[in-house]
Structure 1
Amino acid sequence: MAELTNAPTDKQARIPQPLPEAEEVYRRWLGYLDEEFTRHQAAERRAEIVRDQLFQLYLGRPHGGKLNFTLTSELPLNVLQLSLDPGNITLEAEHHPDVDQERFAASKPLLWFWIMFDRSPIGLNHWLGIRFRCMLGHHLFAKMGKGVRIDHGVELTYGYNLTIDDGVIVRQRALLDDRAAIHLGEGAVIGNYARIYTHTHDNDDYDKLIFAETTIGARARVGAHTTVLAGTKMGDGEIVGPHGTAK
């Protein structure tokens, strides 16, 4: 099960435990999702899995039955139910001309699950959230190391261009704009609201995009609110920020 190998140990995380009964249910749910995403690689099937899970998280009931499109009074509920299906929503990343349509199709249901889990009430459950993102990252990222901690509200672009080594910490509300490759080295820490980019604009033609791999070295520290520009290669143990710009 990916959650057990990727998530930080309780000693590493230094956060309170849920009650035993709740922990057992949480682990069963994560294990079930991990097995489902391992068995099902097709975008359509993954979208169904995500839809069914979001129905229960948001509406408290399984997906099923026909919607009543005739009653104007039910239109908001219809909009909500339809939007819980990844097949009915669009993401900003889909509009980028550089998107790999085939790879993004497989990533999209998992990206929507990532976003909507964090916006649900249980997304604020710190213990569960860390382990949920580790589990999902195992299926979404190019590589997901062991003992990784990704906090609430972290934003991704494609997901499939991310390589995260062992022991990385990504704190709340950071942006990993992986339109090209991002590599976070072992033990690196990305601070709250940090922005890590892999694209920029040509100086002579703003409409022309330039893509470059961005690397954060092992044990490097990116301070809160720091912007790391495309093509940056931070060395091992290097520290930048807060409020600075790595170049």
Structure 2
Amino acid sequence: MSASDRRQVDLSRFDNSWYQVGAGPLKRTLWYFVNACFFINPLFPFRAPKPHLLRLFGAKVGRGVVIHPGVNIKFPWKLHIGDHVWIGQRVWLDNIDQLTIGNNVVISQGAMVILGSHDYKKVDYPTLHRPVVLEEGCWIGAGAIVTLGVRVGSHAVLAAGSMASKDLDAYMIYQGNPAVVVRERKFDP
């Protein structure tokens, strides 16, 4: 088959009108401003106001949450964060669907949690999205990527620089791209 006989991506046919953002234009505009000034901005080092700001925009945020500078959160109204969660510098939470983060979860520096993508098999490149759940006590390592629809099991570890495109079992350590089990997570007595 020659290249001219193959179907090609046609972005002029892209239609995302079915997607429900979950907030009106004013709320989205205000959030983009707040996100840029107080979350993404590395010159705003203060942690205390961030959970309160997220709550103002509809997020459910537990106690003792630490959000470092440089964090980018797409839609707080699609976000549930448990108690005592740590979110490191330059983390990107691309939550175009519901993102649930359990208690005592660590998302390390530069990690990405991506809840959307595109269907590369279709010429109009439609958007795909599915919820992600990070269960209690899991650790997403620095620079790691969690993709749409993944459930990271309780106390699982996704090592630095790894990519999870499938569910991760509880109490297991995963590494690589794609992430594979390297050993069980055991705690010292």
TM-score by length of structure 2 reads 0.71
The 8 Å contact of residues 35 and 73 in structure 2, kept in 1 or not, is answered as: no
The 8 Å contact of residues 94 and 113 in structure 2, kept in 1 or not, is answered as: yes
The 8 Å contact of residues 143 and 162 in structure 1, kept in 2 or not, is answered as: yes
Does 2:73 match 1:152?
Answer: no
Does 2:138 match 1:220?
Answer: yes
State how far apart, in whole Å, the 1-side matches of 2:76 and 2:26 are.
Answer: 12
State how far apart, in whole Å, the 1-side matches of 2:27 and 2:161 are.
Answer: 36
CA displacement at 1:182 relative to structure 2: 0.6
1:210 aligns with one of 128, 140, 145: 128
Corresponding pairs, count: 147
The 8 Å contact of residues 79 and 99 in structure 2, kept in 1 or not, is answered as: yes
Specify whether residues 208 and 120 from structure 1 end up closer, same or farther in structure 2 by C-alpha distance, changes over 3 A only. Answer: closer
Paired AA for residue 113 in structure 1: V
The 8 Å contact of residues 169 and 188 in structure 1, kept in 2 or not, is answered as: yes
The 8 Å contact of residues 104 and 158 in structure 1, kept in 2 or not, is answered as: no
Does 2:38 match 1:117?
Answer: yes
The 8 Å contact of residues 140 and 159 in structure 1, kept in 2 or not, is answered as: yes
Larger Rg: 1
Question: Which structure has the highest strand share of the two?
Answer: 2
State how far apart, in whole Å, the 2-side matches of 1:169 and 1:224 are.
Answer: 12
1:51 is aligned to: none
2:107 is aligned to: 190
CA displacement at 1:203 relative to structure 2: 3.9
The 8 Å contact of residues 111 and 159 in structure 1, kept in 2 or not, is answered as: no
Paired AA for residue 158 in structure 1: F
Which runs of 5 or more structure 1 residues have no equivalent in the other structure? 1-95
Does 2:185 match 1:246?
Answer: no
> Alpha carbon RMSD of aligned pairs, Å?
2.0
SS at match of 2:47: helix
The 8 Å contact of residues 114 and 133 in structure 1, kept in 2 or not, is answered as: no
1:233 is aligned to: 151
CA displacement at 1:199 relative to structure 2: 1.0
1:88 is aligned to: none
State how far apart, in whole Å, the 2-side matches of 1:100 and 1:216 are.
Answer: 22
State how far apart, in whole Å, the 2-side matches of 1:213 and 1:120 are.
Answer: 28
Specify whether residues 239 and 201 from structure 1 end up closer, same or farther in structure 2 by C-alpha distance, changes over 3 A only. Answer: same
State how far apart, in whole Å, the 1-side matches of 2:86 and 2:24 are.
Answer: 26
Does 2:89 match 1:172?
Answer: yes
1:50 is aligned to: none
Specify whether residues 232 and 104 from structure 1 end up closer, same or farther in structure 2 by C-alpha distance, changes over 3 A only. Answer: farther
State how far apart, in whole Å, the 2-side matches of 1:231 and 1:149 are.
Answer: 25
CA displacement at 1:134 relative to structure 2: 1.6
TM-score by length of structure 1 reads 0.55
Which runs of 5 or more structure 2 residues have no equivalent in the other structure? 1-15, 166-189
Q: How does 1:99-110 map to 2 (within 5 A)?
A: 99-100=20-21, 102-103=23-24, 105-110=26-31
CA displacement at 1:99 relative to structure 2: 4.8
Question: Which structure has the highest helix share of the two?
Answer: 1
CA displacement at 1:114 relative to structure 2: 2.9
The 8 Å contact of residues 218 and 236 in structure 1, kept in 2 or not, is answered as: yes
1:200 is aligned to: 117
Q: Which deviations, in whole Å up to 9, do the C-alpha atoms of 1:44-95 show, x marking residues without a partner?
A: xxxxxxxxxxxxxxxxxxxxxxxxxxxxxxxxxxxxxxxxxxxxxxxxxxxx
